[in-house]
Every structure is written in structure tokens, then in C-alpha cells.
């Protein structure tokens, strides 16, 4: 079979391989290139003074790291390892010692659901984990446990999230002491499996338009829960189809005779605890109809169901009344003056779900990248004439696929660790600025990271060729189970609009003389310069020191695609002007829709800047010099690859001159090669046990042997 044209066209350093009739020159070129990259000579004084001198490789950071080998991997692991890594390892060991709890490759939906519930019950009752207690007392450890559970089976991680983040979280965050006293222990020890019944058949993202009603009956001192039409059937409710005994139902609170002219008063969306099955017999309770949403693309260990309520009576005390209450005589009271403020406060308390999804999505990305990188190092195909075949990862095209993705997994790791820390601090302090910051940051990171991970899993599958298509090598299950991360806990497009909306609010406050909240501090510095033109001198700078300068990278991330100013601040200024213009003829809603793609670009721009800023800060904070060098290399690749992917827009506004664009391209390829030299150490530093990887081609050793054994040899 002839060599694949792409494989034959590139070698480790990215230079073309000569045609077959030029075999000797090709071999010489390969050897020279290897010497050039692995043992570069110091540039001459004359060469060093040239504008592009710093693109001539100096002592290669990647080369220095490789010499560290396992020591570097260990140092990286130590820096990445969170303070709750021990709790994760205990769970990994627990599941490893329990083959009966390990998810097989093939099983029916019904069997997967029962296994998933047994896994959760064993985690709580046998392993002694108390997730709701952790969520209340130490959210960072709770998210670490969720990540570990999701590593064993993503369905388990999601089912744990439904039980504790959603059902349990709604009770402790939206209820008051009487609810915590009554339900906390039962939720924590799994005596009270529950659901989070928000989404309806006709409404998901637009929660304020939900149609389920909860009408107060002053005679019986009860709320009557009702599904007024088929569109109001609660849909996709996790735990509902099989295991749930309670549901937090989001419904419109209706007070009879208290509206204008004696009409019913709609007090907006509130949350109610509704028993749905008998605690002893598990029979569905009267007035409640439950149906199964059926087999899904993924996450079939989670039993999603649909709920209809026909005049179901619940005690008045079952209203989760932190932000609004109804007295015995039917009077409504709230510390918040409007429906919108109560609604915002209610949803704001549920932000932990988005934090968990962003955090766990990074875990899925790490698994996919680890499998793909290890296989690329293992797999050897083609090579110079009469010489051994080379690793697939030595091809520039493969480095281009996987090394920026590996860099992104590190960038996202540090960004989500910071998010979890902010969330934990928010729960301790209830600081209003921090609450607003976490709300928007979690929305943006959840949207950006889950979208990136979903695309990356497919790229990893393709990078592993035919073996990546085998179910045992995980990519199909990872893709299918993770795909919904882009939708639940907030559709990604909707969440990015929340980020854009908050930026516009901050922009307005800036020009009213208000202060900016904590994450948006850089806007304060850059808004004053959004009308400045790019410096024609710096637009041509192409030295490596300049291109790898964090200040240049951050500034470049903030350059607008449509104008020559700082990206986020100029996007913000221009979209505000467009909204003002179009609102005069289209109204507020029409103007927003007209500018929607602009707004989404604004949100993504901001989140990219936040991710890079945190990565740079994490590099600076690393105490070990060698580890810091490796992380700086990875961070530079992450930043420059993102710039190169958008290089046309930088060129269009003359922020980058042609020679500088070329230098960025060359340096990005060179950094990809350097990261390739430490790719094994970088994925090993994730410290993922075989139980989590599971794919034979992703094992650290004897991958082919495990693969052949799996198929029966």
C-alpha cells in the first residue's frame, strides 16, 4: 500500500519530505532538522541582531524538560493536584476494588440505570461519602468527588449532580431552616432520591414562561399543583422515570382573588417540594403521571422522565420560601420587591450546577486527550527510507491536531479551578460582587469549555484512526455522554448572551461613573484606549521574546475582529452603539436579535481573555522552576495558536503586519513541536488511573497487548 500522502508530506519539524526519487536528500534533511531542533546551536552575534533572530531556536525548553522525564511529570502532577486529590483517589480505589460496580461496555438501558443507582448508593453508603454535606461545607471537595464519579461513569457523575446539586441544592439554597431540618439527612444518605423539575415540553431556557401552576387554597392551607396543558408537562427530568421519590417543581405561584378586580395574582416562578412516589412502596402517588423519556444518545444510566400533575395537593410548608412566602391567610411576603428580582435570586442560587459541568467537562477533555496522545506516541507509521517508522505524533499534522488541544486542557484546568475557588468563597461570604462575578463567569466558562470539549472528542477519535472507532477505546461513549453538557444547565448560546448582557451592564455603569466588578477589571484599563490606532512599529515586531510576552498575548486576545482596538472593549463599545441605533426602529428585542452574533463574539472574546489571564497567573505562581518552564511553553502555545487561528482578522485591521503573521505561524508550529517532546509527561501529569482511562490504546504500557487480549487473542 502506498504511503498516505499527508503522512508522507511532513516530518517532525514540519518540513516537506522530498519525493521518492530524492531519498538521500530527504534523509539528510530529516537528520539535519532533528539536530537543529534537538541540539540547536547558539545564533551568531550578527544573526542575533536581526529582527527575526529570536525565531531561530535557542536552547529548546522542550529538550530541557525531556531530560527531566518522570521527575517533570511528577512535579507537574504535584502542581495540578488539588487539595482534594486524596478524596478522589479513595473513590478510584473503591471502584477499582468493586468490579460489580464497573460499567461494562455493552448493556441495556434498564440495566445501566440500575447499575448507576447501585454505584451512587455504594458511593454514599459503602464508601461513606456525604455529597450534600460536602456541597454545603466544602464545595471544592464536592466538585472533586463529582469529577471522580464521572470518571467512573459519566452517567454516575450526572446522577450524583441531579441528586445533590439540583434536588439537594434547591432544598438547601431555596428553602429555609424547616426544609433543611426535614430533608437534609434523607437527601444526603439517599433515603430521599429526588428530581429537579424545571424544564417543560414547551419551555426550557425561558424559565419565566413556565406554565405549571401552584395555586394556594386558603381553605385547606395547601398548594394545588397542576399541569394546565401538554406543553407544561415536565420533561427530561433526571431521576423521575425510575428512582425519584420527590421533585422540586418550578411553577407559577397563583394567589386567588388577590389580583386586580379580584382576579388571581400571578407571583411568578417559585419552587415547591412535591412527593411523587410512596416512600415505602415506591408506587406513583395519586394525581401524578410519570412516563419514561426513553433511550437517549448518551447518559443512559440516568433515568429521565416526564411528569404531569393533576390537582396534586401539597402542604403550604412545601413552598421553598427563602425569597418569597405565603402566610396562613394567603398573604404574600418577600424581601425582594419585584418578580424579576425574585426570579434572578432564585436562579442565582442554582449556579453550582454550571460550575460542576464546566469542571467535569475539563475532566472529559483530559481523558480524550490522554487517550489520543498516548496512542499517537505508540503508533508508528512510515518514515525515512531504510529507517524505522516514526511515531504518528512526530508528524506536524498530528501535532497541529493534538498539541493545542493538550494546551487548552491545561488552560481550562486552571480556569475552572479558579471558578471553583470563587464559588466556594461566594458561598462563604455571600459577597454581592462575587455572586455576580461567579454567575457570569460560570455561564461563560460552561458554554466555552463544553463546546470546545465536544469538538475535541471528535478530533481525538479521528486522530486515532480506525482504532478510535472501536467502542472499547471510549471516544463514542465520551462524545455521546458529554454532548448534552452543551445544553443542560443552560443552553450554551443562551449562557453566552448572559455574559454579553452583563458586560453591557458593566459598560453602562462605567459611563455612569460606577465601579466594575472583580472579573471585568481589565475593561477599566482598556476602555479609555478603545479609539487608539495600532502602533505601526509593534505591528511588525516578530521577535520570539515579544511574541511570548504575556502582555502581547493578552493585548492580542483583546483585539476586535472588526476594528483596530482592544478586542473586548471595542466589541463592547461597537455593539452598544449598534444596539442603541437599531433599538430606535426595531425595539429592544429586535435590536438584540439583529446584533446577536456580535454579542456572542463579545462573550467568547471576554471568556478567552479570562482563561488566558488565569493561565498566565498560574504559570507565574508555580513554585518549581522546571515546571514553570513547561507550563510557560504550554501557555505560549495556547495563546499563539488562538491568535493564529484568527490571524486574518488581525491582518484586516493592521494589528499584525505580514512579517509578524508569518512569525506567529512559525513559532506556533515550533511550540507545537516542543510540546510534543513533553506530551507524555503532560498527559501523565493528569494522574488519571487506568480505571478512568479504560481504553486499551490509552494505557501507559502494553497497550497493544491489552487491545488484542480484549478481542480474544
Q: Is the pLDDT of residue 603 over 60?
A: yes
CA-to-CA distance for 595 and 578, rounded, in angstroms?
A: 7
* pLDDT band at residue 556 under the 50/70/90 scheme: confident
* pLDDT band at residue 543 under the 50/70/90 scheme: confident
For 275-306, write each residue's pLDDT tens digit: 999 999 999 999 999 999 999 999 999 999 99
Strands (E) located in 568-638: none
Phi, psi (rounded to 5 degrees) for 331 = -85, 135
Stronger pLDDT, 54 or 231, i.e. the higher one? 231
CA-to-CA distance for 407 and 702, rounded, in angstroms?
A: 26
For 347-394, write each residue's pLDDT tens digit: 888 899 999 999 999 999 999 999 999 999 999 999 999 999 999 999
CA 606 to chain centroid, in Å, comes to: 15
SS3 456: helix
- For 42, the grid coordinates are 547558539
**Bridge-based pairing state of the strands 304-309 and 288-292:** antiparallel
For 307-323, write each residue's pLDDT tens digit: 999 999 999 999 999 99
CA-to-CA distance for 700 and 691, rounded, in angstroms?
A: 12
Q: Which of 57-61, 243-247, 628-632, 682-686 has the lowest mean pLDDT?
A: 57-61
- Buried (b) or exposed (e) across 134-163, using 16+ Cβ within 10 A? bbbebbbbbbbbbbbbbbbbbbbbbbbbbb
For 405-434, write each residue's pLDDT tens digit: 999 999 999 999 999 999 999 999 988 889
Give residue 62's pLDDT.
Answer: 34
Give residue 430's pLDDT.
Answer: 87
Q: Is 258 exposed, middle or buried (0-12, 13-18, 19+ CB in 10 A)?
A: middle
Region 245-256: mean pLDDT is 97
CA-to-CA distance for 467 and 471, rounded, in angstroms?
A: 9
Percent of the chain with pLDDT over 70: 83
Phi, psi (rounded to 5 degrees) for 265 = -100, 125
Give residue 643's pLDDT.
Answer: 84
Domains along the chain? 73-189 (1.10.540), 195-339 (2.40.110.10), 353-696 (1.20.140.10)
595 Cβ contact partners less than 8 Å away, ≥ 6 residues apart = 575, 578, 579, 582
Give residue 513's pLDDT.
Answer: 54
Region 635-648: mean pLDDT is 86
Stronger pLDDT, 543 or 12, i.e. the higher one? 543
DSSP string, 478-529: HHHHHHGGGTTTS-HHHHHHHHHHHHHHHHHHHHTT----GGGHHHHHHGGG
pTM, two decimal places: 0.86
Angle at 258 between CA 255 and CA 261, to 5 degrees: 135
* pLDDT band at residue 10 under the 50/70/90 scheme: very low
Q: Which of 213-217, 231-235, 525-529, 660-664 has the lowest mean pLDDT?
A: 525-529
Q: Is the pLDDT of residue 184 over 50?
A: yes
CA-to-CA distance for 416 and 419, rounded, in angstroms?
A: 5
Q: Comparing C-alpha atoms, which of 246, 149, 133 is closest to residue 193?
A: 246
How high does pLDDT run on average in the chain?
A: 86
Q: Looking at 528-566, list the stretches that DSSP marks H as alpha helix, in order from N- to C-terminal side.
A: 544-547, 550-557
Q: Comparing C-alpha atoms, which of 76, 699, 672, 708 is closest to residue 370?
A: 699
For 487-502, write each residue's pLDDT tens digit: 999 999 999 999 999 9
Let me know if 489 is a catalytic residue.
Answer: yes
SS3 333: strand
For 484-537, write each residue's pLDDT tens digit: 999 999 999 999 999 999 999 887 776 655 554 545 454 555 444 443 445 544
Is residue 230 within 8 A of residue 306, CB to CB? The reply is no
Q: Is the pLDDT of residue 707 over 50?
A: yes
For 441-471, write each residue's pLDDT tens digit: 999 999 999 999 999 999 999 999 999 999 9
Q: Is the pLDDT of residue 43 over 60?
A: no
In the annotated binding site for FAD, the residues are 199, 238
Give residue 481's pLDDT.
Answer: 98
Q: Is the pLDDT of residue 56 over 50?
A: no
Is residue 248 within 8 A of residue 320, CB to CB? The reply is yes
CA-to-CA distance for 490 and 355, rounded, in angstroms?
A: 12
- For 488, the grid coordinates are 443542560
Catalytic option among 147, 489, 604, 629: 489
CA-to-CA distance for 226 and 592, rounded, in angstroms?
A: 34
Give residue 262's pLDDT.
Answer: 85
Give residue 546's pLDDT.
Answer: 82
Give residue 67's pLDDT.
Answer: 46
Amino acid at each position: 500500500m502506498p504511503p498516505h500522502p499527508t503522512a508522507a508530506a511532513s516530518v517532525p519539524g514540519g518540513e516537506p519530505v522530498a519525493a521518492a526519487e530524492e531519498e538521500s536528500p530527504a534523509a539528510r534533511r530529516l537528520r539535519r532538522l532533528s539536530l537543529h531542533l534537538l541540539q540547536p546551536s547558539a545564533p551568531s552575534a550578527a544573526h542575533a541582531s536581526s529582527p527575526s533572530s529570536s525565531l531561530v531556536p535557542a536552547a529548546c525548553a522542550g529538550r530541557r524538560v525531556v531530560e527531566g522525564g518522570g521527575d517533570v511529570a511528577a512535579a507537574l502532577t504535584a502542581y495540578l493536584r488539588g487539595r482534594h486529590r486524596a478524596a478522589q483517589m479513595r473513590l478510584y480505589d473503591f471502584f477499582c476494588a468493586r468490579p460489580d460496580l464497573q460499567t461494562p461496555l455493552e448493556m441495556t438501558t434498564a440495566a445501566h440505570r440500575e447499575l448507576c443507582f447501585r454505584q451512587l448508593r455504594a458511593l454514599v453508603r459503602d464508601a461513606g461519602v456525604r455529597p450534600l454535606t460536602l456541597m454545603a461545607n466544602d464545595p471544592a471537595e464536592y466538585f472533586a468527588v463529582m469529577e471522580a464519579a464521572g470518571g467512573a461513569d459519566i452517567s454516575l457523575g450526572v446522577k450524583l449532580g441531579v441528586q445533590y446539586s439540583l434536588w439537594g441544592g434547591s432544598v438547601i439554597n431555596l428553602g429555609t431552616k424547616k426544609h433543611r431540618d426535614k430533608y437534609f439527612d434523607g437527601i444526603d444518605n439517599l433515603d430521599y432520591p429526588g428530581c429537579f423539575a424545571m424544564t417543560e415540553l414547551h419551555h426550557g431556557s425561558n424559565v419565566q414562561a413556565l406554565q405549571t401552576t401552584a395555586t394556594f387554597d386558603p381553605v385547606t392551607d395547601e398548594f394545588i399543583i397542576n399541569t394546565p396543558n401538554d406543553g407544561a408537562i415536565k420533561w427530561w427530568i433526571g431521576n423521575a422515570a425510575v428512582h425519584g421519590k420527590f421533585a422540586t417543581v418550578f411553577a407559577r405561584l397563583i394567589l386567588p382573588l388577590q389580583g386586580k378586580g379580584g382576579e388571581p395574582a400571578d407571583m411568578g416562578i417559585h419552587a415547591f417540594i412535591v412527593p411523587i412516589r410512596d416512600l415505602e412502596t415506591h408506587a406513583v402517588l395519586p394525581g401524578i403521571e410519570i412516563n419514561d423519556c426513553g433511550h437517549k444518545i448518551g447518559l443512559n444510566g440516568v433515568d429521565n422522565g416526564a411528569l404531569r400533575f393533576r390537582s396534586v395537593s401539597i402542604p403550604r410548608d412545601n413552598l421553598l420560601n427563602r425569597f418569597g412566602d405565603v402566610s396562613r391567610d394567603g398573604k404574600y411576603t418577600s424581601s425582594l420587591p419585584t418578580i424579576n428580582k425574585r426570579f434572578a435570586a432564585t436562579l442565582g442560587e442554582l449556579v453550582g450546577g454550571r460550575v460542576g459541568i464546566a469542571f467535569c467537562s475539563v475532566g472529559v477533555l483530559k481523558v480524550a486527550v490522554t487517550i489520543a496522545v498516548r496512542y499517537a506516541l505508540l503508533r508508528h507509521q512510515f518514515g525515512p527510507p531504510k529507517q524505522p517508522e516514526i511515531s504518528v505524533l512526530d508528524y506536524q499534522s498530528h501535532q497541529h491536531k493534538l498539541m493545542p488541544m493538550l494546551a487548552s486542557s491545561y488552560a481550562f484546568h486552571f480556569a475552572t479551578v479558579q471558578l471553583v475557588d470563587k464559588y466556594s468563597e461566594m458561598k462563604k461570604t455571600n459577597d454581592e460582587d462575587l455572586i455576580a462575578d461567579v454567575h457570569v463567569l460560570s455561564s461563560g466558562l460552561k458554554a466555552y469549555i463544553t463546546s470546545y470539549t465536544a469538538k475535541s472528542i471528535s478530533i481525538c477519535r479521528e486522530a486515532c484512526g480506525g482504532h478510535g472507532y472501536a467502542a472499547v477505546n471510549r471516544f463514542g461513549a465520551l462524545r455521546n455522554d458529554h454532548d448534552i453538557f452543551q445544553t443542560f444547565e443552560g443552553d450554551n448560546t443562551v449562557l453566552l448572551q448572559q455574559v454579553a448582557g452583563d458586560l453591557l451592564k458593566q459598560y453602562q455603569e462605567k459611563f455612569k461613573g460606577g465601579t466594575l466588578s472583580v472579573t471585568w477589571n481589565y475593561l477599566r484599563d482598556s476602555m479609555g484606549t478603545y479609539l487608539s490606532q495600532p502602533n505601526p512599529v509593534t505591528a511588525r515586531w516578530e521577535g520570539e521574546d515579544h511574541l511570548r510576552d504575556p502582555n502581547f498575548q493578552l493585548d492580542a486576545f483583546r483585539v476586535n475582529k472588526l476594528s483596530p482596538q482592544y478586542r473586548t472593549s471595542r466589541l463592547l463599545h461597537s455593539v452598544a452603539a449598534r444596539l442603541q441605533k437599531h433599538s430606535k426602529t426595531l425595539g429592544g428585542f429586535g435590536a438584540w436579535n439583529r446584533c446577536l452574533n456580535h454579542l456572542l463574539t463579545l462573550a467568547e472574546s471576554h471568556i478567552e481573555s479570562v482563561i488566558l489571564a488565569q493561565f498566565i497567573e498560574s504559570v507565574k505562581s508555580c513554585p518549581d522552576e522546571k515546571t514553570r518552564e513547561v507550563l510557560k511553553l504550554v501557555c505560549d502555545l495556547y495563546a499563539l495558536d488562538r491568535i493564529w487561528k484568527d490571524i486574518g482578522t488581525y491582518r484586516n485591521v493592521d494589528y499584525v503586519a505580514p512579517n509578524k503573521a508569518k512569525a506567529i505561524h512559525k513559532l506556533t508550529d515550533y511550540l507545537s513541536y516542543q510540546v510534543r517532546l513533553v506530551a507524555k509527561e503532560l498527559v501523565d501529569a493528569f494522574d488519571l488511573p487506568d480505571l478512568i482511562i479504560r481504553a486499551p490504546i490509552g494505557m501507559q504500557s502494553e497497550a497493544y497487548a491489552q487491545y488484542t487480549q480484549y478481542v480474544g487473542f
